[in-house]
Amino acid sequence: MSSVTPDFSQLETGDVVAERELTLTRDTLVRYAGASGDFNPIHYRDDFAIEVGLPGVLAHGMLTMGAAGSVATDWLGDAGWVKDFQSRFTRPVPVDAKEGAPVTVTATVGALDPEARTARIDLKVVFDGSTVLGKAQLVAAFA
């Protein structure tokens, strides 16, 4: 890895520390279903999703949260570890069979606690012009 390990003393509230565009595809969903054990058919069957009143196959909320978390932990590297991670699931992410769902993740320093050496990283996750996760916050404890 060529990435630079973040230095706690260099962080400032409001810093954008990582930004990534990722495309959730049906392949991503199948992999997540297998890895997590969440086989709810709304995540892989259009006919089933439509029958229960959804626009089509949706990404698992926990996949979106997990992928957003990865943007932060890939940045964090071995400079620290994740003490706390929370999110609300405010809006569904429909995943088109052909195009997938392009999602942008922005990780910003939301708060710093120099005594505890923790940084709250706020994750903004946008799909189709709207934020899909609410209060997505990860607290990183630095060594």
Partner 1 sequence: MVNPEIQGRVYPPTAPYLVGREKVREFARAVLSTSPLHLDPEAAKAAGYADVIAPPTFAVTVQEATLAQLLADEEAGVDFTRVVHGDQRFTYTRPIVAGDELTATLTIAAVKQLGGHSMVTASSDIVDAKGDHVVTAISTLVVRGDENA
Task: Name the site residues for partner 1 (rule: CB under 8 A).
Answer: 1, 22, 28, 31-32, 34-38, 52, 61-63, 65-67, 69-70, 73-74, 76-78, 81-89, 134-135, 138
CB 11, min distance to partner 1, A:
18
User: Between 5 and 14, whose beta carbon lies closer to partner 1?
Assistant: 5
Residue from 59, 75, 61 nearest 107 by CA: 75
Report how far residue 125's alpha carbon sits from residue 143's, in angstroms, rounded to the nearest whole number: 27
Alpha-carbon distances, residue 40 vs 5, 21, 24, 37, 79 (angstroms):
38, 26, 17, 9, 36
Question: CA–CA separation, 103 vs 31, rounded Å?
Answer: 17
132: which DSSP letter? -
User: Closer CB to partner 1, residue 14 or residue 37?
Assistant: 37
13 or 86: CB nearest partner 1: 86
CB of 21 to partner 1, least distance (A): 11
Instruction: Give kind and range of the element (H or E) at residue 32.
Output: helix 26-36
Least gap, CB of 33 to partner 1 (angstroms): 9
Closer residue to partner 1 in complex, CB, 73/95 = 73
Closest separation in Å from C-beta 32 to partner 1: 4
Half-sphere exposure of 84 (CA within 13 A, CB side): 10
